[in-house]
A and B are shown apart, each in its own frame.
Chain A
């Protein structure tokens, strides 16, 4: 069985063309991440030439770590005069002012505001926000109990539990994780690779009509299918992890920092309402795993489609069509509060930040289930159904199912 697995893996996935594609796509992905940094980062040389040096030179060292009163006072002693001077837009606009950090007062103001004051203010105020959430959820418990609304009561008790004791004590550079979390292009590349690589898994033998011969061999039926599916799954996982690794390393090296890896995930403003109580480093790992589950489900769909055809033409087109359909609906309901429509789309596991960024629930027989848990469960069920369907619809020999008329393949 192990030999069969290795054989299938080598046959379908150790192709030169596939390796070339992997190398090219990896390089392309790195280039894309590099361009993301240059287009979006506040500290990139193309956006603000002096900021990078100024930020990492001394100021970040001075303000990073636990936010103390002393640090805040020190920061405000720099920022408040700048704010006052630039408030009415009448300050000097000269660009080589020696009494400034960046050469220009307005630039100084924006530098401190965007890099230190705003993120520190958000971190500082988050504890208050979390306390308000806890207070409101607590109030809701008695409110919904009085109304006899059991579902809302349970929902609020989960929220209460998740938000209790939350705070962001330290200030750290979160920009790298901010853009890493919102980066999707590598997922598109993985989908394309899977689409190409998986097309041959069932089709190759049909093209050469070896599938009929295979059925007569000892390992030709279920065992071959199992080996094919297992090798395909391993391949998809490997590709997903490979690109996940590239993403992480490329982001870390482009942005030049992994400073926020121990900061809580809600240090990213878009994740203020998240139900997760983990660090950004842990989220990066979980995110990769959930993404991989998403890729696996989509891959099983591709494999299932290819089962019915003798060459790759139609399954490729149909799979591409399905993939775009799933992406379209995933995008349409990305920020939607119609949670169920997000949850039932297996593609929302691939682009899953909307599942994790808020605390949303799906009503499962009166019990509130967190949307990401429901999406993962539903995804696993979907994947299971595709796998089961592959086993059911695979070509079987007459010894295996005597009397069952064999199904004819669609020929294109």
Chain B
């Protein structure tokens, strides 16, 4: 099995590929925990375990404290910039408040867990879930193991039949039952070892990457098993599921050996063994169906036996649709018995097939009988149930506050919102004044365009969502970022994500990409990365080459975010402006600027000075000189090549002023 059939090679390949696959493709089920590890663990250490009165109180107090601290912090900064308190008073107050909100992101993550635990505090405990979720909350068939078992076990008997050595074996003293028993025991032993090693490898991986603490906590602590009625701990669920997996694998190899001695042919053995797994795996729309079937598949997956019933409310009809039916304990026992009987039956048949006429009367298995038994099995198993873009080196400046417009040498691009049912990016030819749609593709059914654009030199980018209507409901299908070369108006997809959770795929091997596509408020790109601005206070960076996503900036206030091709500018809660270097991944605070809002241009950073009655100031980006543009309190500012546009705090009206502060002009409606 291992030497002549190159078993070692296949086993080594399986473990190498499985491990590589885990390292490369594994993503945490709750990425927020990974993104805010230290903050999250600060709170988890306080609350881990069951939900108690104290934890309830702690959550209430902490939520109130954080929200009060945020208000107080804003007030203190306001007071300081308004001159009501001194710098010493500011410095005295800030550390204690900042300490309260320093773990705010972690609190948000654990608060979500609190909302889940609170629904049923008796059997839902607080713990870091990513490790256990990775290990238990999956029902993906291990295709590698399936192929490995087929490769290792099929030749055990088939090799003899294909070389006609079987008859010769039967003439030997130990060539009959003893021979078959030895083979079967060897196969079972090998499968046990491989299965245990495979499970240990997964356990080791998740232990190392996320940790598998608190195995004594109830299974329902994981939302995947939230509705389960089984009273098990996480560790015992793992042990039970491992045992069931092992049992499933053993039954599966018994099937392979049974088919081998029955059919005596490689192709038929492989085919029969494959379909008893693959057909039920892909046949049913209801996930739980495969767990109610006799056969090894349910046990090879095993974790579904521990899930609870799940329902989904149909928003149109208000009916509850079943998503998953819990498998009762009696059914599991029944299935175990049935499979055990099948295993014993297979054992007996294999031995019977290895009996010569001297030991017992030869039983003639004619093709008719074989066919009818083959048919029986088929009926039991099958019928029994229901490239990088050419971004110019000179990067255009991006300000998230003006995400709906961009201008280059020839065109003004903007989002036309005159028809709210048909908002779309358009462009105005600077020479002719002609306005046309940016998206030139005349086909627009089942597509919507997001209300923001990004521009860089002659390239303009827009995001669109495609929908799928293969069934009754219209579903999100794909999110794409399109690059338009405005010299030719050729379009190119530079990024796309599968967002369809219920699409009509062939087998469902490729599931939805792990991306939270909701809440994206603007986007900007460079040669290597795509940056998604989420809720105006978070920036996610996506590698254009590998698709790897990480959160690089998380701030507690929503304001303008600017990008000049290398540095990202964003505000913090102290009204300071932070400059993040996308190459070195370091950030610095721009000194002397305290601003409620800013706007970046190629040469200057315009901002509303919080320390000088909300007047407009400008900082030169080359030598950091600061000048006052205008002595008038304003709410907000935006700029184009020639003017600053602002909304006055005095009369709430829009004005336009030259960049040197001259020619202050009131804008009438439609002027801008």
Contacts and interface: CB of A to CB of B under 8 A. Distances in A.
B506 A184 contact: yes
A334 B505 contact: yes
B490 A152 contact: yes
Interface in A283-333: 311-314, 316-317, 320-321, 324, 327-332
A35 B285 CA distance: 9
Contacts of B445: 129, 269, 272-273
Given A143-B440, A159-B442, A311-B162, A335 B282 contact: no
A143 B489 contact: yes
Contact of A140 (B162, B263, B442): B442
B500 interface: yes
Contact of A412 (B6, B143, B500, B508): B6
A27 interface: yes
Given A28-B382, A42-B472, A334-B503, A152 B488 contact: yes
Nearest to B487: A147
Given A17-B263, A152-B489, A351 B151 contact: no
Interface string B426-441: 0000000000110010
A270 interface: yes
Interface string A119-149: 0000000000100111111011001100111
A262 interface: no
Nearest to B270: A316
A110 B316 contact: yes
B478 A335 contact: yes
B470 A270 contact: yes
Contact of A317 (B270, B275, B489): B270
B240 interface: no
B472 A40 contact: yes
B478 A336 contact: yes
Interface string A12-28: 00001100110011011
A185 interface: yes
A332 B510 contact: yes
Interface in A178-203: 178, 182, 184-185, 187-188, 192, 195-196, 199-200, 203
B325 interface: no
B507 A331 contact: yes
Interface string A240-279: 0000000000000000000000000000011011000000
Interface string B274-310: 1100110011010000000000000000000000000
B42 interface: no
Nearest to B275: A192
A337 interface: yes
B396 to A, nearest CB: 21
B506 A16 contact: no
Nearest to A107: B317
B367 A273 contact: no
Interface residues of A, number: 78
A129 B443 CA distance: 9
B238 to A, nearest CB: 28
A39 B489 contact: no
B489 A187 contact: no
Nearest to B284: A35
Contacts of A159: 442-443
Contacts of B469: 269-270
B386 interface: yes
B477 A335 contact: yes
A273 B482 CA distance: 19
A359 interface: yes
B443 A327 contact: no
A140 B440 contact: yes
Interface in A383-406: none
Given A24-B375, A149-B490, A185-B283, A133 B506 contact: no
B143 A196 contact: no
21 contacts: A17-B268, A20-B374, A21-B271, A25-B382, A40-B471, A114-B472, A129-B445, A133-B443, A185-B282, A203-B267, A270-B446, A273-B445, A313-B266, A324-B143, A327-B507, A328-B509, A330-B506, A331-B507, A331-B509, A335-B478, A336-B493
Given A24-B375, A28-B279, A28-B283, 17 more contacts: A24-B379, A135-B442, A136-B442, A185-B282, A195-B271, A196-B268, A207-B162, A269-B445, A270-B446, A273-B446, A311-B158, A312-B267, A313-B154, A327-B507, A331-B505, A331-B510, A335-B478
